[in-house]
Amino acid sequence: MNPRELQLAPDANVHAVESAARAFGLWTTRLQGSDGHTAALEIQSHSQWVDPSELATIPGVSRVLGTTSGHPRVDSLKGQQTTIGDAVFGAAPVLIAGPCSVDSPEQVHACAAMARAAGATVLRGGAYKPRTSPYSFDGTGLEGLGWLRDAADAHGLAVVTEVMSERRVDAVAEVADLMQVGSRNMQNFALLDEVGRAAKPVLLKRGVASSVKEWLLSAERLLVAGAPTVVLCERGIRGDDGTTRNLLDLGAVALLKRVHGLNIVVDPSHAIGRRDLIGDLAAAALACGADGLMIEIHPDPASARCDGPQALGDAELERVGALIAADPRSTSVPSR
Amino acid sequence: MNPRELQLAPDANVHAVESAARAFGLWTTRLQGSDGHTAALEIQSHSQWVDPSELATIPGVSRVLGTTSGHPRVDSLKGQQTTIGDAVFGAAPVLIAGPCSVDSPEQVHACAAMARAAGATVLRGGAYKPRTSPYSFDGTGLEGLGWLRDAADAHGLAVVTEVMSERRVDAVAEVADLMQVGSRNMQNFALLDEVGRAAKPVLLKRGVASSVKEWLLSAERLLVAGAPTVVLCERGIRGDDGTTRNLLDLGAVALLKRVHGLNIVVDPSHAIGRRDLIGDLAAAALACGADGLMIEIHPDPASARCDGPQALGDAELERVGALIAADPRSTSVPSR
Amino acid sequence: MNPRELQLAPDANVHAVESAARAFGLWTTRLQGSDGHTAALEIQSHSQWVDPSELATIPGVSRVLGTTSGHPRVDSLKGQQTTIGDAVFGAAPVLIAGPCSVDSPEQVHACAAMARAAGATVLRGGAYKPRTSPYSFDGTGLEGLGWLRDAADAHGLAVVTEVMSERRVDAVAEVADLMQVGSRNMQNFALLDEVGRAAKPVLLKRGVASSVKEWLLSAERLLVAGAPTVVLCERGIRGDDGTTRNLLDLGAVALLKRVHGLNIVVDPSHAIGRRDLIGDLAAAALACGADGLMIEIHPDPASARCDGPQALGDAELERVGALIAADPRSTSVPSR
Amino acid sequence: MNPRELQLAPDANVHAVESAARAFGLWTTRLQGSDGHTAALEIQSHSQWVDPSELATIPGVSRVLGTTSGHPRVDSLKGQQTTIGDAVFGAAPVLIAGPCSVDSPEQVHACAAMARAAGATVLRGGAYKPRTSPYSFDGTGLEGLGWLRDAADAHGLAVVTEVMSERRVDAVAEVADLMQVGSRNMQNFALLDEVGRAAKPVLLKRGVASSVKEWLLSAERLLVAGAPTVVLCERGIRGDDGTTRNLLDLGAVALLKRVHGLNIVVDPSHAIGRRDLIGDLAAAALACGADGLMIEIHPDPASARCDGPQALGDAELERVGALIAADPRSTSVPSR
């Protein structure tokens, strides 16, 4: 239950209850009856999470009211880990790397080699690409899926790849260890239902303007439909000022990790879109608890068919890999 | 100069220039003449910064056009450090801590002791408080300024405090080592001019919806008016979804630190507003290069007269202090 | 072509060109070469649209550069009308009314009668409902589609209804005169492709955080896939402050109507979400040129299965109908 | 009191209360105790405003709780009119027109003549201009104030002009009939206090990212400090997509007019920033109840020293004047 209100006993000292609430990290607003008497304190949504039973002990509080989360299955994931091949989300941080789009067997093999060398355990790569313009290159499709799987297998990596159409769910499920739902489809409910039915773990990206609540309800939908688990992926929301591609919301990452206990990774490539700053945001993401990073790479960014300006090359990827390796969580788990 | 356009030679291979631009991390858009011929590539603002002279070497590029920054004095701060007492912004990360509002001599002394013990070198505290409601407590004023100075002196700390009125600039300048301009006043140009005239270093908070460009132009105004230097402070922008108080823009921090070479600190207290997540965002801020943290503390949050729910107590502050101490930049400079 | 830059002749008087640009309603920024000489003026995107050939006549301008729109098929709709039953979008303003969700034959028949009486020519109603929570009522499906068609036929109305799944496109196309793609699916590219293939007119709602450019590119995709035409629908974007449901962007409506010459309707029900203000926003939408209004109604809001708080009853709908009837465009066309 | 919660009687039928709330236009959320029993319905902030005493009559509701507005003086303005010279805000719509900046006696006289001819009763014009860059022209100051007053007097107009500095409040108060506080200073509390002390009516522009609540609390501050009344001015908020300058929030206008009963005008010039669309937004503003329009004009936009691209010329201003003249509220009041 999310606490939303402290009901006051008739003889409560309002100031004293407000003080106690403040000590618990709660922002409150007074609710009054028509007689002007304060009958309750409303708890604002950006307050620290506190167990309702603790709040009930505040002298002067007669009852704590709250809302149900609306996503019981997501809540039941709290504290769990998700294992995909050699990656264990929720244990040591995971490096997911690969090209924006799967362009050719050679390119994706080169990427897999780069990824592996930098410590990645999961290969990303788009065979189906969501493109704002209908005239843009939108992926190599089924053929690309095959190249992706081959490259991953050749280098001992698991595969995450996006599915964009209800009609391609089976094809993608055959290849992917982790099925990605992209940010533009976060509220494509028909797709979520179909992906859930494939009964595979899902990586769910946040919509560019979605609230945390909407995001969790989409995760709930996947679980209801049959997905065994969901890994969330923050990739930046709209609201930037033009000097960066999107606005990375690490507050949401901290919230989902610390308070909700979910597995969440960060995609700094899409968040910032600038090659010179991806490393800094990667470090920030790990520092605030992200369970992994998803990085776009390319053996030769000049020839990338999509998002080349944000693709990292060898040296830059190695630095990101070093961040992961240096994370205290990496060093505290036995090597795999 | 900020590169904005690659003019093409008449016989340029457009695809080849686009590839080369991509390799440099540039997002580009074709500009055509009325004949449909591509005459130039416009460089989008979220591209990696590249020196125009490097871009001029791309085969097929006849000329690189750009814009002046509009803030030459800010640009001249690139790579400089700012020394305020024992704090050296731009060298090792600085811990600024103190109460939201200066409530009493006892409270601010207790805060100063807490701050010092956690490794802070600068004491923050508001004697004049900007309050959305005219009925809220708005500070202890001149008297509070005195308490703040005394407490800082007693514990060997420097003082940063906000000035909100043109008429209080002299009074604040007498007490403060670093004069703070708050986010609501970032574009209060009369105040900026007056604060600049006081010829003291300024901490300039970002407006809740300001672009990086507007922020830098406000810094420029301070410098033009006489301020010797400006330390920027990111404190979260509007755009959150209600579960956090504001949205911390660490992409802007990385940009201002790595590309502009400016001194920038982060205020995670206002950014997130939740005591349970301040530590995570503090860690993230340091990881992406922030020159310091500004943290609200209180010896007894229950009795805080302002923003108590986001005030850290002793144990939490110590953890933030430990983050600073563990930062590689802290350990690489000789102890002071 | 969208003008983006005025290239300057070597001997141009920069100030004079800037003045002339200003007179044309252009906001410009100077672009300089490495020698500091201003070589061009960049035209900012919020400038008035001016034909490039007019700009080319400014003394000192050697050439006008611009971008192609990227949506040639949308551009070719400029000034065209869309006829759906008795509704002619682009001629007199059209009233589209109906329930949020099709709950029962009785309810939708009652709505159709209300709609017809108020002057509506198109009946709206959701048989498939996009719901943020997987546990919410999501529509009566195929059965509801049948009720909707029957009710429309009984009252001489055309039908617009939403399609959410690639697999339901045929079923919806059989019933709908105008196929609706909802805001959450504005960038569901697989769905857009499939809907386009049905070769029926489409009502495309704007995504809650979509730019005008993204919206037009989604319209382009529908046209490329086979849709004969697209009517746009503005329904409010995110960015409100909590006192209204969404933020209605009438600037975009004016832009798309006056500058792009497209058919665009406004959904004030979702935009504001408050029954007491829907009428005011409906009036505003018509005043700035909207080709129609899409209004949620219910014979008994208390029993509505979805969005009851924003449903209009009889009297309120009549007032909206009166606004349409009083619009100068309504009175200037022969009665149908 | 703003209703925020319906407390339920122990034996209440929750569904029935929810239905009744829906019929009243309320969006509600269930609040439960630790026993899972629904004890209250929280009323969401984007619900229709309903008198708490009406809600108390719903069967099953034991009590209605709410919040005080926090701005009692603003509330007391409900339904009042503000008379400034020949303008009566709250009666017939008022046309305020004039240049962005007062550049010369000739220019402001020409503007005053244009304004008067188009039906304006108030002349606007900036003698002190807030400029993002410290290097931009920032007004002709005291001298400009004199020109403005002369021009207004010569044409029988009242004067509204912006004050940006606490130190210029007296000088501006001497000249202005209506003192303007600009959007960048909406939360410059020192300025608000000083302007209030001048005891003249104030035009308060909304901050570019301010909530309605914050705006009203700034108005409250002016009233507390001594201002006899406040006219609000919506001028667009941040959140646009680049094709328009700002995003005009007419939902807020309707809310403040219909629900709060305040005087509010709209500045479409700054909102949209495009000369080709200002007329459309002006019409929309009037249609949704705005008490007036504030329009930037210039006899020769090419020579304007500030914001020329959005200045209207003679013919365009006349069309705006005609909109005002045709407004039913204009024709229903006796000519002055």
Amino acid at A308: G
pLDDT digits (tens, 9 = 90+) for A167-201: 999 999 999 999 999 999 999 999 999 999 999 99
Cβ of B165 and D167 within 8 Å? no
Residue A240: predicted pLDDT: 64
Q: How confident is the model at residue B240 (pLDDT cuts 50, 70, 90)?
A: low
- In the prediction, which pLDDT does A136 show? 92
Contact state of B32 with C5 under an 8 Å Cβ cutoff: no
The verdict on B248 touching A (C-beta cutoff 8 Å) is yes
Question: Does B240 contact A46 at a Cβ distance shorter than 8 Å?
Answer: yes
Task: Report, as an integer, the average pLDDT of A269-276.
Answer: 92
For residue A333, name the pLDDT band (cuts at 50, 70, 90).
low
CA distance B31 to chain C (A): 5
| pLDDT, mean of residues D41-58 | 96
The reported pLDDT for the residue numbered D331 is 78
Interface size, chain A vs chain C, as Cβ–Cβ contacts under 8 Å? 75
Q: Write the single-letter amino acid at A217.
A: L
The reply to whether B293 touches chain A by the CB within 8 Å rule is no
Cα distances (angstroms) measured from residue B239 to each of B271, B290, D186, D277: 11, 22, 19, 27
Specify the pLDDT at position A238: 87
User: CA of B192 to nearest chain D CA: how many angstroms apart?
Assistant: 10
Identify the sign of the CA torsion D284, D286, D287, D288. Answer: positive
**Where along chain C do its domains lie?**
2-67, 72-332
Determine the distance from the C-alpha atom of residue B39 to the mean position of all C-alpha atoms in its chain, rounded to a whole number: 39
Verify whether the Cβ–Cβ distance A32 to D68 is below 8 Å: yes
For residue A87, what are the β-bridge partners?
A: A84
Which among B65, B240, B243 is the top mutation candidate for probing chain C, defined by the most C β-carbons within 10 Å of its own β-carbon? B65
ipTM: 0.96
The answer on pLDDT for D34 being more than 80 is: yes
Helix orientation angle between C105-117 and C314-326, rounded to the nearest 10 degrees: 40
Pick the residue with more confidence: A245 or A31? A31
pLDDT digits (tens, 9 = 90+) for C202-251: 999 999 999 999 999 999 999 999 999 999 999 999 876 788 888 999 99
Cβ-based contacts of A130 with chain C (< 8 Å) = 187, 189
Query: Where does residue A51 rank: exposed (0-12), middle (13-18), buried (19+ CB within 10 A)?
Result: exposed
Q: Hey, are the CB atoms on C132 and A214 less than 8 Å from each other?
A: yes
Residue C247 contacts B, CB cutoff 8 Å: no
Which of D238, D288, D293 best tests the C interface by mutation, with the highest count of C CBs <10 A?
D288
| Residue of chain D whose alpha carbon sits nearest to that of C240 | D211
> Of A16-20, A225-229, C115-119, D235-239, which range is least confident?
D235-239
Number of residue pairs across B and C with CB atoms under 8 Å? Answer: 59
C 42-61 residues with CB < 8 A to B: 42, 52-53, 56
Mutation for B interface: D45, D133, D214, D246, most B CBs within 10 A: D133
Contact across the interface for A287 and B284, Cβ inside 8 Å: yes
What whole-number distance in Å separates Cα of residue A291 and Cα of residue A122?
A: 13
The residues, ordered by sequence, that sit 6+ positions from C311 with a Cβ below 8 Å of its Cβ are C99, C100, C269, C275, C296, C297, C298, C301, C304
User: What pLDDT sits at residue C242?
Assistant: 80
Angle at D242 between CA C209 and CA C201, to 5 degrees: 55
| Total Cβ atoms within 10 A of residue A50 | 16
Residue C69, chain D, CB below 8 Å: the answer is no
pLDDT value of position C264: 98
Classify domain C72-332 at the CATH topology level: TIM Barrel (3.20.20)
Q: Taking CB atoms and an 8 Å limit, are C130 and A238 in contact across chains?
A: no
Contact residues on chain C for D2, CB-CB shorter than 8 A? none
Contact list, C46 vs chain D (CB under 8 Å):
240, 242-245, 272-274
- A20: which residues sit within 8 A by CB, 6+ positions away? A58, A59, A60, B302
pLDDT in tens, B61-75: 999 999 999 999 999
pLDDT at D241 over 80: no
| Per-residue model confidence (pLDDT) at position B116 | 98
Give the model confidence (pLDDT) of B206-224 as tens digits: 999 999 999 999 999 999 9
pLDDT tens digit sequence for D271-284: 999 999 999 999 99
**pLDDT confidence band for D336 (50 / 70 / 90):** very low
The 10s digit of each residue's pLDDT in D97-117 is: 999 999 999 999 999 999 999
> Of all residues in chain B, what percent carry a pLDDT higher than 90?
93
CB of B233 within 8 Å of a chain C CB? The answer is: no
Residue in A33, A52, A67 nearest the CB of D29: A67
Q: Which residues in chain B touch residue C67, judged by CB atoms under 8 angstroms apart?
A: 29-32, 42
**Which chain D residue has the Cα nearest residue B185?**
D188
D137 touches chain B (CB under 8 A): no
What is the pLDDT confidence band of residue B97, given thresholds at 50, 70 and 90?
A: very high
* Cα angle value D130/B131/B194 (rounded, 5°): 40
3-state percent helix, strand, coil for chain A, nearest multiple of 5: 40, 20, 40
| Nearest residue in B to C239, CA atom | B239
Dist. CA C28–CA C60, nearest whole Å: 15
**Region C2-67: CATH code:** 3.30.70.1140
Crossing angle between the packed helical segments A141-154 and A105-117, to the nearest 10 degrees: 40
Residue numbers in A near D64 (CB within 8 A): 33-34
Instruction: Please name the residues between 16 and 35 in chain B that touch chain A, using a CB distance below 8 Å.
Output: 19-23, 25-27
Identify which of D70, D133, D184 has the shortest CB distance to residue B70.
D133
Instruction: Tell me the shortest Cα–Cα distance from A241 to chain C, in angstroms.
Output: 14
Residue D205 with chain B: CB contacts under 8 Å: none
Give contacts of D53 with chain A, Cβ < 8 Å. 34
Collect all residues with Cβ–Cβ distance below 8 Å to D290 and sequence separation of at least 6: D93, D234, D253, D257, D264, D265, D266
Helices B314-326 and B105-117 pack at an angle, to 10 degrees, of 40
Q: Do C280 and D254 touch (CB under 8 A)?
A: yes
User: Cβ of B63 and C31 within 8 Å?
Assistant: no
pTM value is: 0.96
Other beta carbons less than 10 A from residue A315's beta carbon: 7
C70 close to D (CB below 8 A)? no
Q: What's the pLDDT score for residue C244?
A: 83
Find which of A44, A133, A249 to mutate to test the C interface (most C CBs within 10 Å of its CB): A133
Which of D277, D322, D324, D269 is CA-nearest to residue D298? D269
Closest chain C C-alpha to A98 CA, distance in angstroms: 23
The minimum CA-CA distance between B60 and chain D, rounded to whole Å, is 31
pLDDT, tens digit, 9 for 90 and up, residues A106-135: 999 999 999 999 999 999 999 999 999 999
How far CA D12 is from CA of D35, D37, D62, D291, in Å, comes to 16, 11, 9, 44
Distance from CA of C184 to the nearest CA of A (A): 6
Q: List pLDDT tens digits, range C61-105.
A: 999 999 999 999 999 999 999 999 999 999 999 999 999 999 999
Contacts of D146 (CB under 8 A, 6+ apart): D175
- CB of C73 less than 8 A from some CB of A: no
| Band (A100; pLDDT cuts 50, 70, 90) | very high
Mean pLDDT (whole number) for D153-172: 98
What is the mean pLDDT of the segment spanning D24-53? Answer: 95
pLDDT at site A243: 83
| Closest residue, chain C, to B65 (C-alpha) | C33
Q: Which residue of C has its CA nearest to D23?
A: C302
Structure letter (DSSP) for residue A312: B
Q: In the structure, what pLDDT confidence band is assigned to residue D245 with cuts at 50, 70 and 90?
A: confident
For residue D1, the model assigns a pLDDT of 86
- Confidence (pLDDT) at C243: 82
The whole-chain average pLDDT of chain C stands at 95
